[in-house]
A and B are shown apart, each in its own frame.
Chain A
Amino acid sequence: MNLKNLIIFIFSIGSFFAIWEIYYWIFINNPFILAPPSRVIPTFYDLLAGNIQGFYMPLDAIYSLYHYFLGFTVAVAVGFSVGLIAGWYKRVERFLYPIIELIRPIPPIAWIPISILLLKLTHTAAAFIIFIGSVFPILLNTIYGVSSIEKKYIEAALTLGATKTKDIFIKVIIPASMPAFLTGLRVGSGVAWMCVVAAELFGVSHYGLGYKIELGRLYHSPDIVISYMLAIGIVGLFLDRIYRTLEASIVKWRRGYLIE
């Protein structure tokens, strides 16, 4: 980031906080309904430091990330492997398509009741919601990536002596579909992170950023609620950065690929 961008960055965040602060004091002025940045920022610090009884933000972040990884890794494994097969074998795709199209429009949140009934209030129940939310972007992008591979690359592999299906998969299909898969990974991760919050709001575990938002509301502490909201945004931003960096480093062979 150069100096000019840094100035724009600070100005952007600063004006957002300023408008929020002014709005609070003119229109709300009630600490049980909303909190201004001047209150949120100290609370945020206290939550990070563990100064507030019953709230320790780093621990909640770890729990949320735990839920996220539990559901997301399964979604990646399933989405990628099924996507490879369905992308390559058109018959498998045709078989899966109606099922996918039926389930996909159901919002992950709508699965929460059934997930709690089936799995009780457990970490697995949270992971299940996250799985449901993130598996489809990964699956569909992988299918798209495989089915849009240009035929000439397969032919080149064949004529250069690749006789085994395994070689074609490992040396052509997987690398060629990597860009689409990584896009699916990034989009899926975003959905997964949103699902973490939704699942935790329903109390599947007693720790987690999402759960503490709900708890903050019960305590009538909007400063806590907003602090946790900000934490969710910040962690989500970091996750997105990680996947973008991963994307840029893995698919650097693509012409005109830009990270920013």
Chain B
Amino acid sequence: MSENFLTIVNLSKWYGNGNIHVLDNINLDVFRGEFVSLLGPSGCGKTTLLRIIAGLEKQDKGEVRLKGEQIVGPGQDRVMVFQDYALFPWRTVLGNILFGLEVRKIKKEEALKIAQNYIKLVNLEGFENSYPHELSGGMKQRVALARALVCDPEILLMDEPLAALDAQTRNMMQSELVRIWSATKKTIIYVTHSIEEAVYLSDRVIIFTPRPAKVKKIVKVDIPRPRDRFSREFVELRAKIYEQLH
């Protein structure tokens, strides 16, 4: 674990001409290869924080640095998975997944091979040529996930990427995510509403206050992986975070 990977310093953000205070002096370090979950009440500012890290939104105070360099806009080192998927409706499932590879100028044959791997991973075989409007919510979410994963960025910013899935698929995708994460040593910042999910996935869980979001508590998850959702330590940690949130 190296220092100075992603550093958030005194970050503040207001919307609506300064009327809506969203982020209040956030300070946070994320280490290289770390899996961090952001947990907080709805509307507190998690998406906003993720968008600032992605470079899609400007902060009003403070800064975000990646490897010492200030983030001023989007970059190929960070990819975000949107809460509402934002799949390109004019592209098929395969076309959506190929997008990141096309703009990275990866050769067509190789790109197809990579895309096919991820299509298999997210269980969308047979739907390569479907358009987004022909998919269910959960399938769209899996396309969005695959579309981000193929880009192979240093940091993955995920905004509730599994929220629309049924419990069984979600559990399966969670283990896949842990597998991909440990195999590729990506840094993942992951927004979720599910305490169980946060505990299952992360190295650390960052708990935010209601808007304006402040870091309320950081909980380290020291349970070895693969984690057993029904083990005593898992259940105890869940309860502890639950108390922090309420």
Contacts and interface: CB of A to CB of B under 8 A. Distances in A.
Contacts of B99: 157, 160, 162, 171
Nearest to B104: A161
Q: From DSSP, what is the main secondary structure of chain A's interface residues? A: helix
A152 B79 contact: no
Interface stretch (B86-94, B185-193, B203-211): B86-94
B88 A153 contact: yes
B131 interface: yes
Contacts of B79: 159-161
B100 interface: yes
Contact of B100 (A155, A160, A252, A255): A160
Given A159-B80, A167-B103, A253 B133 contact: yes
A254 interface: yes
Contacts of A162: 99, 103
Given A152-B82, A167-B103, A161 B76 contact: yes
Interface in B66-125: 73-76, 78-80, 82, 84, 86-91, 99-100, 102-104
A107 B75 CA distance: 49
Contact of B76 (A156, A163, A171): A163
A255 B135 CA distance: 11
B22 to A, nearest CB: 18
B6 interface: no
Contacts of B133: 253-255
Interface residues of B, number: 31
Interface in A136-175: 152-153, 155-164, 167, 171-172, 175
A74 interface: no
Contacts of A171: 99, 102-103
B56 A161 contact: no
A133 B24 CA distance: 56
B53 to A, nearest CB: 10
Contacts, number: 71
Contact of A253 (B56, B73, B80, B131): B131
A171 B100 CA distance: 11
Interface in B37-88: 54-56, 73-76, 78-80, 82, 84, 86-88
B81 to A, nearest CB: 9
B51 to A, nearest CB: 8
Contacts of B198: none
A189 B156 CA distance: 47
A70 interface: no
Given A161-B76, A163-B103, A178 B90 contact: yes
- Most chain A C-beta atoms within 10 Å of own C-beta, residue among B84, B89, B104: B89
17 contacts: A152-B84, A155-B86, A156-B87, A158-B55, A158-B73, A159-B55, A159-B157, A161-B76, A161-B100, A161-B103, A161-B153, A167-B102, A171-B102, A171-B103, A253-B91, A253-B133, A254-B133
Interface of B: 54-56, 73-76, 78-80, 82, 84, 86-91, 99-100, 102-104, 131-133, 147-148, 151, 153, 157
Interface of A: 152-153, 155-164, 167, 171-172, 175-176, 178, 251-255
